[in-house]
A and B are shown apart, each in its own frame.
Chain A
Amino acid sequence: MSSTQRALLIAFVWLVLPVAFNQSATLNLLVFSDINLIQAIGLSLLFGYAGQISLGQAGFYAIGAYVSSALALRTGLPPIAGMFVGTIVAGAVGYVIGRPVLRLRGYYLAMVTAAFGLIVHAIIVEWEDVTGGYSGLTGIPPINLGVVTIDSPLRMFYFAGTIAIIVFLLALRMVRTPYARAMQTMRESEAAARSVGVNISKLKAEVFALAAGLSGLAGALYAHYIGYISPDSFTIDTSINLLLALVIGGVGSIWGAGIGAVLLSFLPEWLHVLKSAYGIAFGAIVIVLLTIEPGGLVAILVSIQERLLPKAALDAPGKN
Chain B
Amino acid sequence: MSIATIMQFIVSGVTIGSVYALVGLGFNLIFNATDIINFAQGEFVMLGGVLAAIAITQWHWPTAVALIAVALAVGGLGALIDFATISRVRHASVMTLVMITLGISVFLKTGALLAVGPNPLYFPPFTQGLPLRFFGAVIQLQALYVVVIGIVLMCLLQLFYARSSLGREMLACAIDREGAYLMGIDVRLMVRISFFLSALLGAIAGAMITPLTNATYDEGFTLALKGFAASALGGFGLSSGAIVGGLMLGLIESISVAFLPSGWKDSVALIVLIVVLMAKPSGLFGGRQERRHTEVLAR
Q: Known: A106-B299, A125-B263, A283-B105. Is A278-B89 also a contact (CB below 8 A)? A: no
B266 x A118 contact (CB < 8 A): yes
For A243, the chain B residues whose CB sits under 8 A away are 99, 102
For B108, the chain A residues whose CB sits under 8 A away are 283
For residue A301, CB closer than 8 A to chain B, the reply is no
For residue A107, CB closer than 8 A to chain B, the reply is yes
For residue B96, CB closer than 8 A to chain A, the reply is yes
Q: What's the nearest-Cβ distance from chain B to residue A191, in Å?
A: 12
A276 x B113 contact (CB < 8 A): yes
Q: What's the nearest-Cβ distance from chain B to residue A105, in Å?
A: 5
For A283, the chain B residues whose CB sits under 8 A away are 103-108, 110
For residue A95, CB closer than 8 A to chain B, the reply is no
Q: Known: A104-B298, A244-B99, A282-B103. Is A294-B92 also a contact (CB below 8 A)? A: yes
Q: What's the nearest-Cβ distance from chain B to residue A272, in Å?
A: 13
Question: Interface digits, A278-320 against B, CB 8 Å rule (1 contact, 0 not)?
Answer: 1110111111001100100000000000000000000000000
Which of chain A's residues has its CB closest to B96's CB? A294
Question: Interface digits, A110-140 against B, CB 8 Å rule (1 contact, 0 not)?
Answer: 1110111011001101100000000000000
Which of chain B's residues has its CB closest to A289's CB? B103
For residues 240 through 299 of chain B, which have their beta carbon under 8 Å from a beta carbon of chain A?
A: 261, 263-264, 266-267, 270-271, 273-274, 277-278, 281, 297-299
CB < 8 Å neighbour of B277 from A108, A247, A282, A294: A108
A111 x B273 contact (CB < 8 A): yes
Which of chain A's residues has its CB closest to B103's CB? A286
Which has the most chain A C-beta neighbours within 10 Å: B85, B105, B221, B222?
A: B221
A106 x B114 contact (CB < 8 A): no
Chain A interface, number of residues (Cβ within 8 angstroms): 47
Which of chain A's residues has its CB closest to B86's CB? A291
CB < 8 Å neighbour of A118 from B39, B267, B277, B298: B267
B221 x A278 contact (CB < 8 A): no
A277 x B113 contact (CB < 8 A): yes
Q: What's the nearest-Cβ distance from chain A to residue B166, in Å?
A: 27
For residues 39 through 53 of chain A, which have their beta carbon under 8 Å from a beta carbon of chain B?
A: 47, 51, 53
For residue B119, CB closer than 8 A to chain A, the reply is no
For B228, the chain A residues whose CB sits under 8 A away are 111
For A277, the chain B residues whose CB sits under 8 A away are 110-111, 113-114
For residue B100, CB closer than 8 A to chain A, the reply is yes
Which of chain B's residues has its CB closest to A113's CB? B274
Once the chains are docked, how many angstroms separate the CA of A291 from the CA of B90?
A: 10
For residues 85 through 135 of chain B, which have their beta carbon under 8 Å from a beta carbon of chain A?
A: 85, 88-89, 92-96, 98-100, 102-111, 113-114, 118
For residue B37, CB closer than 8 A to chain A, the reply is yes
For residue B25, CB closer than 8 A to chain A, the reply is no
B263 x A101 contact (CB < 8 A): no
Q: What's the nearest-Cβ distance from chain B to residue A292, in Å?
A: 9
Once the chains are docked, how many angstroms separate the CA of A283 from the CA of B113?
A: 13
CB < 8 Å neighbour of A107 from B88, B94, B221: B94
For A286, the chain B residues whose CB sits under 8 A away are 99-100, 102-103, 106
Which has the most chain A C-beta neighbours within 10 Å: B85, B105, B267?
A: B267
Once the chains are docked, how many angstroms separate the CA of A261 from the CA of B102?
A: 19
Question: Interface digits, A164-195 against B, CB 8 Å rule (1 contact, 0 not)?
Answer: 00000000000000000000000000000000
For A118, the chain B residues whose CB sits under 8 A away are 222, 225, 266-267, 270
For B267, the chain A residues whose CB sits under 8 A away are 118-119, 122-123
Q: Known: A105-B299, A118-B225, A240-B102. Is A53-B107 also a contact (CB below 8 A)? A: no
Question: Interface digits, B17-40 against A, CB 8 Å rule (1 contact, 0 not)?
Answer: 000000000000000000001010
B103 x A101 contact (CB < 8 A): no
19 A-B pairs with C-beta separation under 8 A = A55-B102, A101-B274, A104-B277, A107-B98, A108-B297, A108-B298, A111-B228, A118-B266, A119-B270, A123-B267, A125-B263, A126-B261, A126-B264, A240-B102, A274-B110, A277-B111, A277-B113, A277-B114, A290-B103
Taking Cβ atoms with an 8 Å cutoff, the residues of B that contact A are 37, 39, 85, 88-89, 92-96, 98-100, 102-111, 113-114, 118, 218, 221-222, 225, 228, 261, 263-264, 266-267, 270-271, 273-274, 277-278, 281, 297-299
Q: Besides the contacts A106-B98, A126-B264, what 16 more A-B pairs have beta carbons closer than 8 Å?
A: A106-B297, A118-B222, A119-B267, A237-B218, A243-B99, A244-B99, A244-B106, A276-B113, A277-B111, A280-B111, A282-B106, A283-B108, A283-B110, A286-B99, A286-B100, A290-B99
